[in-house]
Amino acid sequence: MNISEFKKNGHMIIDWIADYFENIEKYPVKSKSSPGEVISKLPACAPDRAEKFEKIFGDFEKIIMPGITHWQSPSFFAYFPANNSFPSILGELLSSALGAQCMSWATSPAAAELEEAVMKQLAKIIGLPESFCGVIEDTASTSTLCAALSAREKYSDYSINSEGFGPENKFTAYCSGQAHSSIEKAVKIAGIGKNRLRLIGCDKNYAMMPSEIFAVAAIGTTGSTAIDPLRAIGRICKKYGIWLHVDAAYAGSALVLPEMRYMINGVEYADSFVFNPHKWLFTNFDCSAYFVKDKAALIKTFEILPEYLKTSEKSAVNNYRDWGIQLGRRFRSLKLWFVLRSFGVSGLRKIIKKHIELAQYFAEKLSAENGFEIMAPHPLSVVCFRFKPRAGISQEKIDAFNAGLLEKLNSSGKLYLSHTKLGKDFVIRMAIGQTGTEKKHVKAALDTIIKTAKSMSK
Amino acid sequence: MNISEFKKNGHMIIDWIADYFENIEKYPVKSKSSPGEVISKLPACAPDRAEKFEKIFGDFEKIIMPGITHWQSPSFFAYFPANNSFPSILGELLSSALGAQCMSWATSPAAAELEEAVMKQLAKIIGLPESFCGVIEDTASTSTLCAALSAREKYSDYSINSEGFGPENKFTAYCSGQAHSSIEKAVKIAGIGKNRLRLIGCDKNYAMMPSEIFAVAAIGTTGSTAIDPLRAIGRICKKYGIWLHVDAAYAGSALVLPEMRYMINGVEYADSFVFNPHKWLFTNFDCSAYFVKDKAALIKTFEILPEYLKTSEKSAVNNYRDWGIQLGRRFRSLKLWFVLRSFGVSGLRKIIKKHIELAQYFAEKLSAENGFEIMAPHPLSVVCFRFKPRAGISQEKIDAFNAGLLEKLNSSGKLYLSHTKLGKDFVIRMAIGQTGTEKKHVKAALDTIIKTAKSMSK
């Protein structure tokens, strides 16, 4: 593809994307593709000769598109959102064209410095104290792993990095039973061990013992967006010298609203904090904002300086390769910068506030319907509910009914919801947060959910 | 930004990218920006109100562009390439617009199945045995960490994941002293410890002891692209039951050429293998191809299944979240598919072959010049050299001269080179592999290098 072909194909794709967003509501939200359907249409070998872009793009439309689940649909209410925006898409397009690998300051000075500037702006926007210092990671999984490793190293005086685990592995990590699976994964990867991760009920006392290292407070759990009591946990962590990591992957974006900052009351006790602009801040996946208080501990955990990476800046610069796991890094700050400026802080607030209000509206309307139960508090934009087809029915039957209801709703193509368990109850999660979601989409969802549940229970 | 503004701005950016590639040779390859120069022009706060895209884009051109090091310049010869192509940019653009989060099969069936298909095609293209099974990770750092963790778990019978390190940490890892820094990083993160990573000279015997777990063979070291003797290492690993990981991050792309497959003679002994299409296969960063023989060991190391991630497919599908560290995943297979089809295997071969020939041409011409020394074999597209200004000069002075020469060359803006140490010698690395690099760019580099060195030595 030469430059003039690129222009032609690029314009075509921009128009295609515009059409896609214009017509996104016409697609089934969750793909109706069956396992093996896409791969059966793909050849076993790559072609020997170059193919025309028209042909490749035709296959994209014919083979790939029917297998796409439309995360950007305004009726995508599953999991957490991974919302998007046009300025973010254009920022990512520029980053991918420049193709800069941002491992060191020298390999892209503007990328390193824009990242520093944007992360400072972001910390201010969400009300983080100035003692925090930020870096963009890919996902909260990675950010939380960075926190676990920094804690491990700081409390072992960096001896595990050098010597490996010695005869004593005294570490324990804590989080609530509703905290995200990435915490278990991080504790496993770091060699601490899943069985040393203690799950604590949110209603119990946090009576921690010395020799512990790592606690994770969830601001907005994945199941029901519960908010752990940060100040109370923070005081205990401070007393015993425990690394406190705050996982606000989804809920962090809501901190753009001053009235939501109560959620991080006590954040000054935290050692690290993560939230994902790629979830609810209109910045397309991936973009995870990781903030730490002790920058030196982070860098000391990850820095490497082989000869071939030495550069000659005389003054201090940030070489972000030493702030995380990967050496290679994309220029992610550009899309985030485009988003912050294109929306403005007031614009971000307006949409986030609308999403929260829509969730409250949804909960209110649904709870007024016979048979529907709201299963957890809903301080943000996620509502957990279930339908009880009749009184006196067993727990197993209620769960089975709701699993069937979810399956039926999702296979309708009209909307996409996910589920979790709260206590022993199977609950359906309505997560509102797509960029284009308006009241009419929530109303349509309500209507579909109510009609489907009632017709199934007849 | 609404849809019609997106179309307008999108077309503008496509044209800008076309112009950028048309004029890329006019930019200084390495940014001339000084530390702090970019950030000093950026405000401390994000704007409260939305800004016009024209204004944001104007700042991108004025503030950001002068701080960009042009990785896609045909005169970028530093580090390893991170090359790019128009089909890859368009693939990434579509992925970012769809904004699909590809953690599970259900969250994007086409993404999961295209990844499976493309990785199978890729394995064939580079001549990997069919026993290998692939997944796309972000970087080789992550792929190598996955290998180290899988090895740790397999050899501890998955007990470290569950119990953490116990009283005995008997693990040892091996690689050559020229292997990549990501191996040290992986060994640290996994809790094995840097001091248990033994660096072995390539010319010594690989006399390994039982109770070891992990060896890394480099196919194309970062310093000089040396090729470790895979079959000899593989035999020892097999004898002692050691996990053998092959790091071909850069050189793997050259395996598209059948005549280069001698490099992986013995690959059937390997347990895992990584190479980065984002280095030398025209697929923009990030895209790392990780292949394993024992898929179950990989999945067992990483799988998690909280309630909210359970899906209801009746038959076996790949949930790639369990194949690596991150839960969230971008739709990376799309750009790789566009590249494989747009170039065709013969097209890929042609350019890679040209790059290797250009490196041989460069080495031949430079070695014919008085004072220049080629410092290592150059089987691929990287040539390590230095200039000896006069006979009898001390080691320190030769090193200092070459560091000064490198600095002067890079600050000219005409080309960008990097360096390493081989033994005690400071050497300059000429890495050829940008998509647009032609003989004229190599000739111009030769001319600049020779003239600069000779004028400095006068």
Structural contact between residues B288 and B138, judged by C-beta atoms closer than 8 angstroms:
yes
Give the number of residues written for chain B.
458
Distance of alpha carbon A130 from the chain centroid? 23
Contacts of A70 in chain B (CB under 8 A): 98, 100
Structure confidence by residue, pLDDT tens digits, B304-317: 888 878 877 766 78
Q: What is the pLDDT of residue A315?
A: 66
Q: What is the pLDDT of residue B171?
A: 87
Q: What angle do CA B200, B206, B210 make, to 5 degrees?
A: 110
Residue B221: what are its φ and ψ, rounded to 5°? -65, 160
Q: What angle do CA A340, A346, A352 make, to 5 degrees?
A: 85
Q: Is A264 exposed, middle or buried (0-12, 13-18, 19+ CB in 10 A)?
A: buried
Judge whether residue A252 has pLDDT over 90.
yes
Structural contact between residues B151 and B157, judged by C-beta atoms closer than 8 angstroms:
no
Which residues in B334-353 are b (16+ Cβ under 10 Å) and which e?
Answer: bbbbbbbbbbbbebbbebbb
Report which of B399, B394, B405 is spatially closest to residue B366, judged by C-alpha positions: B405
Q: From residue A275, how far is each of A78, A220, A318, B19 by CA, in Å? A: 19, 10, 21, 37
Q: Which of B52, B63, B83, B98 to mutate to test the interface with A (most CBs of A within 10 A)?
A: B98
Contacts of B163 in chain A (CB under 8 A): 193-196
Q: What is the mean pLDDT of chain B?
A: 92
Judge whether residue A205 has pLDDT over 70.
no
**Helix (H) or strand (E) run with residue A350 in it:** helix A333-367
What is the nearest CA distance from A374 to chain B, expressed in angstroms? 17
Cα–Cα distance measured from residue A388 to residue B280, given in angstroms and rounded to the nearest whole number: 58
Contacts of B138 in chain A (CB under 8 A): 138, 326, 328
Q: From residue A293, how far is each of A128, A130, A132, A245, A273 by CA, in Å? A: 11, 9, 5, 11, 9
Report which of A112, A109, A121, A148 is spatially closest to residue A320, judged by C-alpha positions: A112
Q: From residue A434, how far is each of A72, A137, A284 by CA, in Å? A: 6, 22, 11
Q: What is the pLDDT of residue A210?
A: 41
Judge whether residue A202 has pLDDT over 80.
no
- In the three-class reduction of DSSP (H, G, I as helix; E, B as strand; rest coil), residue B64 is classed as helix
Name the pairing type of β-strands A214-218 and B173-176.
Answer: unpaired
Q: What percent of chain B has pLDDT above 90?
A: 75
Does A1 sit within 8 Å of B18, measured CB to CB? no
Structure confidence by residue, pLDDT tens digits, A141-166: 999 999 999 989 888 888 899 888 88
More confident site: B237 or A211: B237
Q: Which of B63, B77, B94, B130 to mutate to test the interface with A (most CBs of A within 10 A)?
A: B94
Q: What is the pLDDT of residue B411?
A: 93
Distance of alpha carbon B335 from the chain centroid? 16
Q: What is the pLDDT of residue B202?
A: 53
Give the number of residues written for chain A.
458
Q: What is the pLDDT of residue B55?
A: 97
Cα–Cα distance measured from residue B92 to residue B112, given in angstroms and rounded to the nearest whole number: 16
Q: What is the pLDDT of residue B308?
A: 79
Structure confidence by residue, pLDDT tens digits, B118-147: 999 999 999 999 999 999 999 999 999 999
What is the nearest CA distance from B35 to chain A, expressed in angstroms? 7
| Half-sphere CA count of A195, side-chain side, radius 13 A | 11
Distance of alpha carbon B355 from the chain centroid? 16
pLDDT band, residue A209 (cuts 50/70/90): very low
Does B316 sit within 8 Å of A35, measured CB to CB? yes
What is the nearest CA distance from A205 to chain B, expressed in angstroms? 25
Q: Which among B68, B78, B108 is the nearest to A68, CB-wise?
A: B108
| B406-411 average pLDDT score | 95
| B321-333 average pLDDT score | 91
CATH 3.90.1150.170 fits B1-30+69-82+344-458, yes or no: yes
The sign of the CA dihedral A80, A85, A90, A91 is negative
Cα–Cα distance measured from residue B104 to residue B317, given in angstroms and rounded to the nearest whole number: 9
Does B184 sit within 8 Å of A171, measured CB to CB? no
Contacts of B323 in chain A (CB under 8 A): none
DSSP A353: H
Cα–Cα distance measured from residue A342 to residue A336, given in angstroms and rounded to the nearest whole number: 10
Contacts of B191 in chain A (CB under 8 A): 152, 160, 164-165, 190-191
Cα–Cα distance measured from residue B218 to residue B140, given in angstroms and rounded to the nearest whole number: 12
Q: Which of B37, B40, B54, B89 to mutate to test the interface with A (most CBs of A within 10 A)?
A: B89
| A353-380 average pLDDT score | 97
Cα–Cα distance measured from residue A315 to residue B35, given in angstroms and rounded to the nearest whole number: 7
Q: What is the pLDDT of residue B209?
A: 46
Report which of B162, B144, B141 is spatially closest to residue B153, judged by C-alpha positions: B162
Structural contact between residues B226 and B420, judged by C-beta atoms closer than 8 angstroms:
no
Structure confidence by residue, pLDDT tens digits, B240-265: 888 999 999 999 999 999 999 999 99
Q: Is B262 exposed, middle or buried (0-12, 13-18, 19+ CB in 10 A)?
A: exposed
Same fold, B1-30+69-82+344-458 and B100-330: no
Q: Which among B37, B65, B317 is the nearest to A35, CB-wise?
A: B317
Structure confidence by residue, pLDDT tens digits, B17-69: 999 999 999 999 999 999 999 999 999 999 999 999 999 999 999 999 999 99
Q: Nearest residue of B to residue A222 by CA position?
A: B308
Structure confidence by residue, pLDDT tens digits, A271-287: 999 999 999 999 999 99
Which sequence spans correspond to the domains of chain A?
1-30+69-85+344-458, 100-330
Does A82 sit within 8 Å of B184, measured CB to CB? no
* Alpha helix (H) residue ranges in B39-166: 53-59, 86-98, 109-125, 140-155, 159-163
The class level of CATH for A1-30+69-85+344-458 reads alpha beta
pLDDT band, residue A310 (cuts 50/70/90): confident
Q: What is the mean pLDDT of chain A?
A: 92
Does B22 sit within 8 Å of A6, measured CB to CB? no
Q: From residue B84, how far is each of A7, B199, B249 by CA, in Å? A: 16, 34, 16
pLDDT band, residue A206 (cuts 50/70/90): very low
Report which of A328, A299, A306, A305 is spatially closest to residue A149, judged by C-alpha positions: A299
Q: What is the pLDDT of residue A199?
A: 82
Contacts of A51 in chain B (CB under 8 A): 341-342, 344
Contacts of B342 in chain A (CB under 8 A): 1, 50-51, 53, 56
Which residues in A277-295 are b (16+ Cβ under 10 Å) and which e?
Answer: bbbbbbbbbbbbbbbbbee
Does B69 sit within 8 Å of A93, measured CB to CB? no
Q: Which of A6, A62, A224, A253 to mutate to test the interface with B (most CBs of B within 10 A)?
A: A6
Q: What is the pLDDT of residue A288?
A: 94
Both tokens of residue A57? 């793009």
Judge whether residue B302 has pLDDT over 70.
yes
Structure confidence by residue, pLDDT tens digits, A422-444: 989 999 999 999 999 999 999 99
Architecture of domain B100-330: 3-Layer(aba) Sandwich (3.40)
Q: From residue A136, how far is each of A19, A109, A114, B437 by CA, in Å? A: 31, 15, 11, 32
